[in-house]
């Protein structure tokens, strides 16, 4: 992949006073006074007119109401259907046989009440502190759902039988998963993930086709190098299980319009075969899908399954004449410090 030509850096104003660098491919021009004093990685490159990056405290959520985690999901009973009032029918004479109104009513089929929809979910831990999450809802095939887990959100669609099965990175030892349909119904599944203490995790989540990507460069790796882990080189969980390095998993169905998507990077903190730093960044390419727009994302980070830190991000993307450039946001995560254990 032709990933970069020229790289420069600047900074936007951050609520929460967090420094974030922009790196963009572009020709020369005079830096905007708003970004004076920023370090230029390439002295011949110059700064595009990029609007502010703002870290906010706004909730990153979808317009649905999820079941409360601490309460069991209640399936509403089907509404009782009342039979229509019996009209005053005259007696009918047929071949000397009298048919009474009550007899006519007995011969009329009665509507049956609907059977409540049974929705069940199950979670069980698997290798690399992952969780196998399954859902069964036979009455809700091909329906959109939102999966909630410790601040992590993404959308999925049930199959033709109303089911799905996913493997999800756990963000906490006591892992709770809430699955919510758009009609308010849903289910809750819980499990304990003992192995979470052996792994560090960071997550990036967003809504729609915004072009966000999560990047990890392990132990000084260059872009495109062996230790550069991103959507174009995601690896799989065997890297983490064997201590070779980290891997990225993408969550959510990209075919859902304006759906919630996420990427989670997992690193084997307690079993790493190498020592050094893992540099983490959030990137997005300026394209026709996001140019000139204000886009939002949320980051999550946990070390060994302990307290999760999160940040909400709002970014103004340059106009469409900057298409093809990349914005690189540093310092949204705390870089990982890895030491091998003898």
In SS3 terms, 40-97 reads as CCCCCCCCCCCCCEEEECCCCCCCCCCCCCCCCCCCCCCCCCCCCCCCCCCCEEECCE
Q: Name the CATH architecture for the domain at 120-194.
A: Sandwich (2.60)
Residues 122-139: what's their mean pLDDT? 96
Q: What are phi and psi of 74, to 5 degrees?
A: -100, 125
Is residue 171 within 8 A of residue 310, CB to CB? The reply is no
Higher-confidence residue of 328 and 92: namely 328
Angle at 319 between CA 20 and CA 209, to 5 degrees: 75
Residues 226-244: what's their mean pLDDT? 90
- pTM recorded for the entire structure: 0.70
Residues 69-73: what's their mean pLDDT? 46
Residue with tokens 């540099």: 279
Gap between the Cα atoms of 185 and 189, Å rounded:
14
Angle at 182 between CA 79 and CA 256, to 5 degrees: 145
Tokens describing residue 290: 């996001």
Residues 31-47: what's their mean pLDDT? 34
Residues 12-32: what's their mean pLDDT? 37
pLDDT in tens, 77-121: 444 545 555 555 455 444 444 445 555 455 555 655 565 689 999
Which range among 9-18, 50-59, 297-306 shows the weakest confidence by mean pLDDT?
9-18
State whether residue 320 is helix, strand or coil.
helix
pLDDT in tens, 275-318: 788 999 999 999 999 999 999 999 999 999 899 999 999 999 99
- List the one residue out of 256, 251, 269 whose CA is nearest residue 133: 251
Q: What are phi and psi of 323, to 5 degrees?
A: -55, 135
Is residue 323 within 8 A of residue 255, CB to CB? The reply is no
What count of other Cβ atoms lies within 10 Å of the Cβ of residue 311?
18
Domain boundaries, the chain: 10-58+199-338, 120-194
Angle at 254 between CA 302 and CA 217, to 5 degrees: 40
Tokens describing residue 204: 């990036």
pLDDT in tens, 81-91: 455 555 554 55
Gap between the Cα atoms of 133 and 196, Å rounded:
16
Residues 177-195: what's their mean pLDDT? 96
Residues 144-152: what's their mean pLDDT? 97
């Amino acid at each position: 992949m032709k990933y970069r030509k020229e790289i420069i850096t600047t900074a936007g104003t951050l609520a929460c006073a967090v420094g974030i660098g922009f790196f963009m491919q572009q020709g020369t021009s005079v830096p905007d006074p708003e970004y004076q004093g920023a370090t230029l990685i390439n002295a011949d490159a110059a700064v595009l007119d990029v609007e502010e990056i703002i870290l906010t405290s706004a909730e990153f959520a979808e317009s649905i109401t999820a079941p409360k985690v601490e309460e069991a999901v209640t399936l509403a009973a089907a509404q009782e259907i009342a039979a229509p009032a019996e009209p005053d029918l005259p007696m009918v004479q047929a071949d000397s046989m009298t048919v009474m109104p009550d007899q006519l009513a007995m011969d009329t089929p009665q509507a049956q009440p609907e059977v409540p929809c049974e929705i069940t979910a199950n979670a069980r831990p698997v290798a690399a502190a992952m969780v196998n999450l399954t859902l069964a809802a036979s009455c809700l095939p091909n329906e959109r759902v939102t999966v909630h887990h410790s601040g992590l959100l993404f959308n999925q669609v049930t199959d033709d039988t109303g089911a799905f099965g996913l493997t999800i990175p756990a963000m906490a030892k006591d892992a709770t998963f809430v699955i919510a349909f758009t009609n308010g119904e849903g289910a809750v599944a819980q499990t304990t993930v003992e192995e979470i203490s052996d792994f560090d995790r960071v997550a990036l989540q967003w809504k729609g086709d915004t072009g966000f990507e999560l990047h990890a460069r392990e132990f000084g790796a260059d872009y495109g190098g062996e230790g550069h882990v991103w959507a174009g080189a995601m690896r799989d969980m065997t890297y983490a299980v064997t201590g070779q390095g980290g891997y990225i998993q993408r969550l959510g169905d990209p075919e859902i319009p304006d759906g919630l998507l996420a990427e989670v990077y997992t690193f084997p903190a307690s079993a790493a075969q190498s020592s050094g730093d893992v540099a983490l960044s959030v990137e997005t390419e300026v394209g026709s899908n996001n140019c000139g727009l204000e886009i939002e994302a949320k980051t999550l980070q946990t070390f060994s399954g302990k307290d999760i830190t999160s940040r909400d991000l709002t970014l103004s993307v340059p106009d469409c004449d900057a298409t093809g450039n990349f914005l690189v946001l540093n310092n949204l995560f705390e870089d990982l410090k890895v030491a091998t254990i003898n």
